[in-house]
Structure 1
Amino acid sequence: MTTQQTIGFIGFGAMASRMAAHLEKAGYATLAYTPSGKGGDGVTHFLPTPAEVASKADIVLACVPDDEALAASMYGPQGVLAGIKADSLLLNTSSVSPEAADALQKAGQEKKICVIDCPVSGSTPEAASASLVILAGGDDAAIARAQPIFDKIGRITIHAGPSGSGARLKLVINGIMGAGLAAVAEGIAYGLAAGLDRSMLFDALDEMAVISPHHKRKIKMAKAGDFSPQFPARLMQKDMRLLMDAAARLAVPAPTLAAVTQQLSLARRAAEDADYSVLIGVMEKIVANDA
């Protein structure tokens, strides 16, 4: 006989709400906190502070946009760490800097709780279909403890290494993803400026093995002019900024990724809440204006 466990969500945006739906179907109860106090359908109820969510949950799952939001929700008298019970499990699915992930793990140790940094690879379609890739950092026992939850929201869990490794692997993946999109955007811009038929160009790229399925999805969005946010430009640019900082700390030269960061800053300035594939639209507009 099992007792229903409660998962407390800190942050309840497009990704977290989809994860919660799968966990509810699997029999977990859910609570949530958002800075706005608002949420979607299906969640048991929303509480006014992270501390209250943590005090009533068996497992806390954080899904917030950046280091600043993580700090605001974890620390201080109303933060998760003020309310969480000893030996609780804290899953940090947020895409944050390695330093923020490491600091939370250290703070968790002091509170005698188990913290796993476990950002996810995938956008809203993968969250909706429970096919995210979980990038987990922590020891074997911690990962095993969290595995039942990971299995409900993702298709595979990659144990990236000790605590903090998940955050570091996420930066590698998103850096490559951003660079691929920038190359696609520049290639399309050249093709259009050179007079290639637009529909033919977009359709041809969809047939090319050299382009990833992820980037083919972005090309289709750009062809339709539909940049509904699956992964907003502001978050992609934020991840590139974190990668640049992390690489500089280790004196790793990354000139290509530095240039891509500037391109994504342009996309964020143009439409920060649109999908980051809006960079293709920005480049298309530039060459159209030159025509």
Structure 2
Amino acid sequence: MQHAFGQVGFVGLGAMSRLMAARLKAASYSVIAFDPAHDGDAFDGFELTASPAALAKRVDAILVAVPNDAALHQSMIAEGGALDGTRAGQLVVNFSTVSPSASIALAEAAAAKAVAYVEAPMSGSTPEAKDGQLVFLAGGSARAVDAARPMLDVLGRKTTHIGPVGQGAVTKLIVNGVMALGTAALAEGLAYGARAQLDRGMLIDVLSDLILISEHHKRKLTMARVDDYPSQFPGKLMSKDLGLLLDDARERGAPMTSMAAAAQLYAYAAHKYPDEDYASVIRVQEASARG
């Protein structure tokens, strides 16, 4: 099958992007990657390039999935970054959860190279990435978003064009904030139940059967039941995202009282269990309740 951007390269090959890359490969895209954490010519079945710039020279579309603003700048804009190897007419799709200002800076740098840019932060974790059920919150021009849609349709179940660059990033931070608050509420409820000497398994059964608990949060209760938090979304990334949310909200004069309180809890949980799923905040709260 011929694709308009059939040669694609991932900058960043973490847990999520490896699953996404595999889906594109299965859909007849040619996929290569760059990841600073992995040396050699290949990793997990994907050819690796020596630098982001070397990757950009070989592909039609550059798909970037990195953990934070600094990594985005270093891998894309700084000397030796992907934009150093681009040519007019290419496409950059940024899946990273970063600040709106970092996304806008990358869009401006891409435009200076006549490269189209779409921010496409996603709602979903590794199970959704594996099954192609991600939801993309796209920011950019309608033309650029339409150019990215064939790839996004392989990777997810829905793409919503939120608006210009920056608005997709804001929407993703809101989504993560709401997700964090829901899990923090479960953590506090289970901790309160422990202090009240409720049967823990019974309480988890009750909560898991209620319509007010989302499917996502029911998954977190399943982790809590066995006190095992495999990293679908690491706690250190949730803490980082809440920091981005609060910083941007402060700049805009938007009060975030509940999310600010939750951010403190997640900062502590990320210190204790940085690489476990962010739902390990439940363990932290229950431990506090037990004294």
TM-score (norm 2): 0.96
Following superposition, the deviation at residue 109 of structure 1 comes to 0.8
Structure 1 partner of 2:21: 20
Match of 2:104 in 1: 102
- In 1, Cα distance between the equivalents of 2:53 and 2:32? 12
**Contact 1:37-1:47 within 8 A present in 2 as well:** no
Residue matched to 2:204 = 202
Which residue number corresponds to residue 213 of structure 1? 215
**Structure-2 residue corresponding to 1:132:** 134
Instruction: Give the letter for the 2:173 counterpart.
Output: L
Task: Check whether the contact 1:9–1:30 (CA below 8 A) recurs between aligned residues.
Answer: yes
d(CA) in 2 for partners of 1:60 and 1:11? 10
TM-score using structure 1 length: 0.96
Query: In the alignment, is the contact (CA less than 8 A) between 1:21 and 1:42 conserved in 2?
Result: no
Q: Tell me the residue number matched to 1:5.
A: 6
**d(CA) in 2 for partners of 1:164, 1:53:** 26
Aligned partner of 1:42 in structure 2 is 45
| 1:6-155 mapped onto 2 (5 Å cutoff) | 6-38=7-39, 40-43=43-46, 45-155=47-157
Letter in 1 for 2:136: I
Gaps of 5+ in 2: none
Q: Contact 1:233–1:272 at 8 Å: present in 2 too?
A: yes
Q: Once the two structures are aligned, what percentage of the paired residues are identical? A: 43
Measured in 2, the distance between the counterparts of 1:68 and 1:208 equals 41
One-letter code of the match for 2:165? S
1:210-289 paired onto structure 2 within 5 Å: 210-288=212-290
Q: Unpaired segments of 5 or more residues in structure 1?
A: none
Residue 188 of structure 2 aligns to a residue whose secondary structure is helix
- Report how far residue 41 of structure 1 moved: 2.2
Whether the aligned pair in 1 keeps the contact of 2:77 and 2:106 (CA below 8 Å) is: no
Alpha-carbon separation, structure 2, partners of 1:191 and 1:7? 50
Provide Cα deviations, 1:43-93, integer angstroms capped at 9, x if missing partner. Answer: 2x1011000001101100000000011011012331011001211000000
The 3-state SS of whatever aligns with 1:278 is: helix
| Distance in 1 (alpha carbons) for counterparts of 2:252 and 2:79 | 34
User: Which segment drifts farther, 34-43 or 171-180?
Assistant: 34-43
Give the secondary structure class of the aligned counterpart of 1:277: helix
SS of alignment partner, residue 56 of structure 1: coil
User: In 1, are the aligned partners of 2:77 and 2:109 still within 8 Å (CA)?
Assistant: no
d(CA) in 1 for partners of 2:221, 2:173: 23
Q: How many residues align?
A: 288
1:156 pairs with 2:158: yes
CA contact (8 A) 1:17 1:40 kept: no
Partner secondary structure for residue 173 of structure 1: helix
What secondary structure sits across from 2:246 in the alignment?
Answer: helix
Report the RMSD for the aligned CA atoms in angstroms: 1.2
How far does residue 223 in structure 1 lie from its aligned partner after superposition? Answer: 0.9
SS of the aligned residue for 2:218 comes to helix
> C-alpha displacement at 1:141, in angstroms?
1.1
Rounded Cα–Cα distance in structure 2 between residues aligned with 1:2 and 1:217: 38
Distance, in Å, in 1 between the alignment partners of 2:109 and 2:78 is: 12
Amino acid corresponding to residue 200 of structure 1 in structure 2: M
Counterpart residue type for residue 146 of structure 1: A
